[in-house]
């Protein structure tokens, strides 16, 4: 870890929204002393209420917390309509295509397109409040229109990342019992067309019977198969729609969207976010963490298929009335300077990405940032995994020219928005450290029984008070919700939210995230449950048992390594490894491909049959085995596996 501390640039801090730690503590102390009052002030200031709420926080059915009970609002109004009086001609979205094509979409245009899309969904497909709509979309503005059109009607969207396979898409459609899928023929990546519609077709032939219609946006105009009666062309239908579609008055606690994410056990969980609390925190964190100012152009490089894309490409920026950039392509194509050229061309003021992308950009083009004018940049953000000192230093010095604040934002799909992050005008930054909980967030490093973990030791990262944008439920599985998030830690006898991450607090009160404490691995900043990958590998006929662990990876942060016991050891071959990866691709998608596979005669199991994953993790990292192996059914297996891994 870099020992140096980086104080906020005074030039920048003087105009910042939260300009000092005193200002931070003023806010945080208000939250500590008067929690409801703190949130009430912001809810009243930020949200255009259609009907007032009667209670800030209802804890009577914990952990099913309710915020701003009986209030009425609409997120599409919050993100579009209420800005029209002052911002009609300001860019809401700037879109850059893979091939460099650029489109500027003003708030007035966004309004027209979202209203038309909402009318299309309503009039042609009967989409109404509470219906589930699955989006399987590329990074094109229509993805944002579709999200906002759903919120206008009160329909619940569930976006499935375009890298997921047809089987994964089908599972998510079936779990949510979605009524329609919105997709595209495909899009462009690295100069070439790629396809999405065929994946939807495949998902629907094998199940997903709830789907009544598929709405297809034509983007790359490649040939696609078409099922008459089920498939509908967006491009042919949209123009005829009226651009006036009144928005639904939604209850604060009406569902806003579902987003599936991996857990340590079982199938992916449909994380449910609701209306008022989510949009409030999306807007507040957008303003505070990125210190939003007039004329800013914000670029978050995530995909809309992940929570970062939901909150910081679409909802946060638009609720805050800023300009958000959407990019279809990859930041290293046609060359390693692409991202920096875009920062220059669009006058980007905040650039928000994942450490994995920073490592890739660094590796492929160390000096590329120097070729472009990046002088408009004020804030650089990172998200998704801890950032290593090497990447941090390059980001700070070469990209940020040693004058931009770096905000290392810690949060999760379940938290809806940032939880722990520096504030660019206030926090002195320790590289690799997420620093302090944001005002209003009560984050504590504790033991399972609620005792504070001593300074400098690893404990459990808990958010000990409910917050507005928190997960409300797991779709269709309230018991799993309680167990997964409120089953591990208690404070003063009351169940508190446990993130699944470990953390450490230092003598200055700074929080450092030390990584997951469960069997979830973090591949390129994306969560992957080992159980999910194991279930996919198990689908291959040759496999008897399998254990999957994370392995350090130069670019991805963590890669996936599988120890596989074959039914017939003689089947072991390089071809079989390829075939197993093919099964993973079909079951989950290319993001879950194994970086390494070792065929082993057995796994290290205790006498009760529990696989000792810690040993497997140590072996693949080449670490000395310090764990007690005497409890293993067959201790000699450890040396055998070590030998095989060394050889492979």
Separation of CA 190 from chain center: 23
**Part of the chain binding ligand PRX (CB under 6 A), chosen from 402-410, 488-496, 566-574, 598-606:** 402-410
3-state secondary structure of 439: coil
In DSSP terms, 103 is beta-bridged to 95
**Part of the chain binding ligand PRX (CB under 6 A), chosen from 227-235, 345-353, 405-413, 487-495:** 405-413
Q: Which is nearer to ligand PRX, 268 or 386 (CB)?
A: 386
**Part of the chain binding ligand PRX (CB under 6 A), chosen from 44-52, 123-131, 384-392, 629-637:** 384-392
Dig out the tokens for 370 from the structure: 């120097």
Using CB under 6 A, pick the residue from 137, 184, 307, 426 that binds ligand PRX: 307
Q: Which is nearer to ligand PRX, 150 or 504 (CB)?
A: 504
Phi-psi region of 291 (alpha: psi -120 to 50; beta: other; left: phi over 0): left
Nearest C-alpha neighbor of 536 from the set 171, 288, 279: 171
CA distance 481 to 491: 18
Count of residues interacting with ligand PRX (CB under 6 A) = 22
Q: Exposed, middle or buried, 611 (CB in 10 Å: 0-12/13-18/19+)?
A: middle
Using CB under 6 A, pick the residue from 78, 412, 469, 581 that binds ligand PRX: 412
Using CB under 6 A, pick the residue from 171, 175, 444, 501 that binds ligand PRX: 501
Asked if residue 519 binds ligand PRX (CB under 6 A), the reply is no
Dig out the tokens for 156 from the structure: 């619940």
Q: Which is nearer to ligand PRX, 267 or 527 (CB)?
A: 527
Asked if residue 285 binds ligand PRX (CB under 6 A), the reply is no
Q: Which is nearer to ligand PRX, 71 or 557 (CB)?
A: 557
**Part of the chain binding ligand PRX (CB under 6 A), chosen from 97-105, 158-166, 249-257, 381-389:** 381-389
CA distance 489 to 458: 15
Pairing assessment for the beta strands 350-353 and 297-300 based on DSSP bridges: parallel
3-state secondary structure of 481: helix
Dig out the tokens for 225 from the structure: 């198969």
Q: Which is nearer to ligand PRX, 245 or 520 (CB)?
A: 520
Q: Which is nearer to ligand PRX, 63 or 502 (CB)?
A: 502
Residues in CB range of 574: below 8 A, 6 or more apart = none
Asked if residue 410 binds ligand PRX (CB under 6 A), the reply is yes
Dig out the tokens for 390 from the structure: 């090497």
Q: How far is the CB of 468 from ligand PRX (least distance, A)?
A: 17
DSSP state letters, 482-532: HHHHHSSEEETTEEEEEEEEEEEE-TT--EEEEEESSSEEEETTEEEEHHH
Q: Label residues 20-58 b or e (16+ Cβ within 10 Å = b).
A: bbebbeebbeebeeebeebbbebbeebbebeeebebbbb
Using CB under 6 A, pick the residue from 408, 444, 534, 558 that binds ligand PRX: 408
Using CB under 6 A, pick the residue from 151, 285, 332, 413 that binds ligand PRX: 413
Asked if residue 383 binds ligand PRX (CB under 6 A), the reply is yes
Using CB under 6 A, pick the residue from 28, 111, 241, 522 that binds ligand PRX: 522
Asked if residue 341 binds ligand PRX (CB under 6 A), the reply is no
Rounded (10°) CA dihedral 395, 396, 401, 402: -170
Asked if residue 430 binds ligand PRX (CB under 6 A), the reply is no
Asked if residue 368 binds ligand PRX (CB under 6 A), the reply is no
Using CB under 6 A, pick the residue from 527, 540, 556, 577 that binds ligand PRX: 527
The interface with ligand PRX within residues 449-478 (CB under 6 A) comprises: none
Asked if residue 261 binds ligand PRX (CB under 6 A), the reply is yes
Q: How far is the CB of 515 from ligand PRX (least distance, A)?
A: 6
Based on DSSP, count helices (H) and strands (E) in the chain, helices before strands. Answer: 21, 31
Q: How far is the CB of 192 from ligand PRX (least distance, A)?
A: 28
3-state secondary structure of 293: coil
**Part of the chain binding ligand PRX (CB under 6 A), chosen from 134-142, 219-227, 326-334, 494-502:** 494-502
The dihedral built from the CA positions of residue 122, 124, 130 and 134, taken in this order, carries a sign that is: negative
Nearest C-alpha neighbor of 552 from the set 357, 388, 308: 388
The interface with ligand PRX within residues 178-237 (CB under 6 A) comprises: none
Contacts by 571-574 with C-beta closer than 8 Å and gap 24+?
Answer: 571/542, 572/599
Residue nearest to ligand PRX (CB): 413
Q: How far is the CB of 422 from ligand PRX (least distance, A)?
A: 11
Asked if residue 512 binds ligand PRX (CB under 6 A), the reply is no
Q: Which is nearer to ligand PRX, 417 or 466 (CB)?
A: 417
Contact residues: ligand PRX, CB under 6 A: 261, 307-308, 383-386, 408-413, 434, 499-501, 513, 516, 522, 526-527
């Amino acid at each position: 870890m870099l020992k140096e501390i980086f104080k906020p640039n005074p030039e920048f801090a003087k105009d910042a929204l939260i300009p000092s730690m005193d200002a931070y503590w003023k806010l945080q102390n208000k939250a500590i002393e008067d929690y409801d009052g703190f949130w009430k002030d912001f809810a009243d200031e930020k949200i255009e209420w259609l009907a007032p709420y009667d209670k800030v926080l209802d804890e009577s059915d914990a952990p099913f917390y309710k915020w701003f009970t009986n209030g009425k609002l609409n997120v599409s109004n919050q993100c579009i309509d209420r800005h029209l009086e002052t911002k009609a001609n300001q860019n809401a979205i700037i879109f850059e295509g893979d091939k460099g094509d650029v489109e500027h979409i003003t708030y007035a245009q966004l309004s027209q397109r979202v209203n038309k899309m909402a009318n299309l969904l309503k009039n042609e497909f009967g989409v109404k409040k509470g219906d589930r709509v699955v989006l399987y979309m590329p990074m094109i503005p229509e993805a944002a229109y579709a999200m906002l059109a759903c919120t206008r009607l009160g329909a619940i969207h569930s976006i499935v990342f375009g890298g997921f396979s047809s089987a994964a898409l089908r599972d998510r459609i079936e779990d949510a019992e979605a009524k329609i899928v919105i997709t595209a023929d495909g899009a462009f990546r690295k100069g070439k067309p790629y396809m999405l519609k065929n994946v939807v077709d495949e998902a629907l032939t094998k199940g997903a019977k709830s789907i009544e219609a598929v709405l297809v946006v034509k983007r790359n105009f490649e040939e696609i198969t078409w099922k008459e009666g089920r498939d509908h062309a967006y491009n042919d239908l949209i123009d005829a729609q009226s651009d006036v579609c009144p928005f639904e008055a939604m209850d604060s606690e009406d569902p806003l969207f579902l987003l599936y994410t991996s857990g340590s056990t079982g199938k992916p969980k449909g994380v449910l976010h609701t209306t008022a609390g989510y949009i409030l925190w999306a807007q507040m964190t957008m303003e505070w963490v990125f210190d939003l100012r007039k004329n800013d152009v914000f670029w978050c490089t995530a995909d809309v298929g992940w929570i970062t894309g939901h909150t910081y490409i679409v909802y946060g920026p638009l609720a805050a009335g800023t300009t958000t950039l959407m990019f279809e392509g990859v930041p290293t194509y046609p060359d390693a300077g692409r991202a920096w050229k875009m920062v220059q061309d669009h006058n980007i003021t905040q650039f928000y990405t994942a450490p994995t992308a920073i490592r890739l950009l660094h590796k492929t083009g160390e000096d590329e940032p120097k070729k472009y004018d990046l002088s408009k940049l004020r804030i650089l953000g990172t998200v998704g995994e801890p950032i290593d000192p090497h990447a941090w230093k390059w980001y700070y010095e070469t990209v940020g020219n040693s004058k931009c604040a770096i905000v290392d934002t810690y949060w999760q799909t379940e938290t809806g928005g940032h939880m722990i992050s520096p504030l660019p005008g206030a926090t002195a930054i320790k590289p690799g450290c997420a620093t302090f909980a944001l005002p209003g967030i009560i984050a504590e490093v504790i033991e399972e029984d609620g005792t504070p973990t001593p300074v400098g030791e690893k404990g459990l990262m808990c958010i000990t008070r409910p917050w507005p944008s928190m997960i409300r439920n797991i779709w269709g599985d309230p018991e799993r919700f309680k167990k997964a998030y409120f089953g591990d830690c208690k404070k003063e006898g009351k169940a508190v939210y446990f993130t699944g991450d470990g953390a450490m607090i230092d003598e200055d009160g700074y929080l450092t995230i030390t990584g997951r404490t469960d069997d979830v691995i973090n591949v390129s900043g994306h969560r992957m449950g080992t159980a999910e990958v194991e279930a996919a590998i198990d689908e291959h006929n040759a496999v008897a048992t399998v254990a999957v662990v994370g392995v350090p990876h130069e670019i991805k942060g963590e890669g996936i390594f599988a120890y596989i016991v074959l039914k017939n050891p003689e089947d072991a071959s390089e071809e079989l490894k390829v075939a197993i990866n093919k099964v993973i691709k079909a079951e989950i998608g290319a993001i879950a491909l194994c970086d390494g596979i070792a065929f082993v005669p057995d796994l290290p199991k205790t006498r009760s049959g529990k696989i000792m994953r810690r040993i497997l993790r140590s072996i693949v990292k080449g670490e000395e085995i310090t764990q007690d192996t005497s409890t293993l059914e067959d201790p000699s297996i450890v040396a055998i596996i070590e030998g095989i891994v060394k050889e492979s």
